[in-house]
Structure 1
Amino acid sequence: MARASMVGTVALVAVFYCLVVAAPLSVEGVVTCEQVISDLSPCATYLINGGTVPSDCCSGVTSLNSAATTTDDRQAVCRCTEQTVTTLPGINLDNVRSLPGKCGLDIDFNISLNTDCSK
């Protein structure tokens, strides 16, 4: 179950990197990989199995989206995802793509786990 939790966390990180890409650019970032994992770990079960999204998952998603407001923050979220997503199988990409909407966030781009963190 711990492995499933980490897998879900990683996929959600990718989702929220995509969410924050559209945020305004600033000078300095502060989001850590530990923060990303902490905010998104409640989403693991949904990302793997679907079903009902836990309220603490949406709270974490909203928190991370609010925290990642700078270019450095968004790149940190992306790098955290990039470092772990390829080693953790089991994520359902359709669940990843549906999560923002299920948490009340409206995004206007396709979520991908192949994002270039430098852009």
Structure 2
Amino acid sequence: MAGPRLATLALAVLLAAAVAAPPAAVRAAMSCSTVYNTLMPCLPYVQMGGAMPPQPCCGGIRSLLAQANNTPDRRTICGCLKNVANGASGGPYVTRAAALPSKCGVSLPYKISTDVNCNTIN
């Protein structure tokens, strides 16, 4: 008699755990490390300029925009870019970085700038 009850209890516990567990496809929140690594191909363009940024740079921008499907991720990306702009050692770098989205044919919901208010991003 204890065998069927124990099996039923074990099944109930497994079902409860399956319902309570987060889905495996849930991804981690966006981080500045992810932003910086994704945009690393943009660094030569920001440092030296040129007619057009390299395709891996534009692909990285598109990838970040596709991943930023919620307000916290968009605000994180904005904050990371703002931190980089604040750490830049001069106007040409920030100007080139700010031009990246338009040069790559993408639209950011904010300007890459030292004075952007990332808390207003939705």
In which range does the TM-score fall when normalised by the shorter chain?
0.5 to 0.7
Q: Are 1:54 and 2:54 counterparts?
A: yes
Worse overlay, 65-74 or 82-91: 82-91
Correspondence 1:1-119 to 2 at 5 A: 30-51=29-50, 52-90=52-90, 91-106=92-107, 110-119=111-120
**Which one scores higher on RCO, CA 8 angstroms, separation ≥ 6?**
1
The structure with more helix, counted as a fraction of residues:
2
Listed as ranges, the gaps of 5+ residues in structure 1 are: 1-28
Mean Cα displacement is larger for which, 69-78 or 85-94?
Answer: 85-94
Structure 1 pair 117–44 and aligned structure 2 pair: CA distance change class (3 A): same
Range with greater deviation from structure 2 (108-117 or 32-41): 108-117
> Which protein is bigger by CA-based radius of gyration?
2
Mapped partners of 2:53, 2:44: distance in 1? 8
Instruction: Report the TM-score, using the length of structure 2 for normalisation.
Output: 0.61
Cα distance between partner residues in 1 of 2:87 and 2:108:
27
Paired-residue identity, %: 32
Aligned mates of 1:64, 1:33 — CA distance in 2: 11
Count of paired positions: 92
Task: Note the C-alpha offset of 1:107.
Answer: 5.3
> What is the RMSD computed on CA atoms of the aligned residues?
2.6
Superposed displacement of residue 110, structure 1 = 4.9
Deviations 1:41-78 (A, max 9, x none): 11011112211311111111110111112110012112
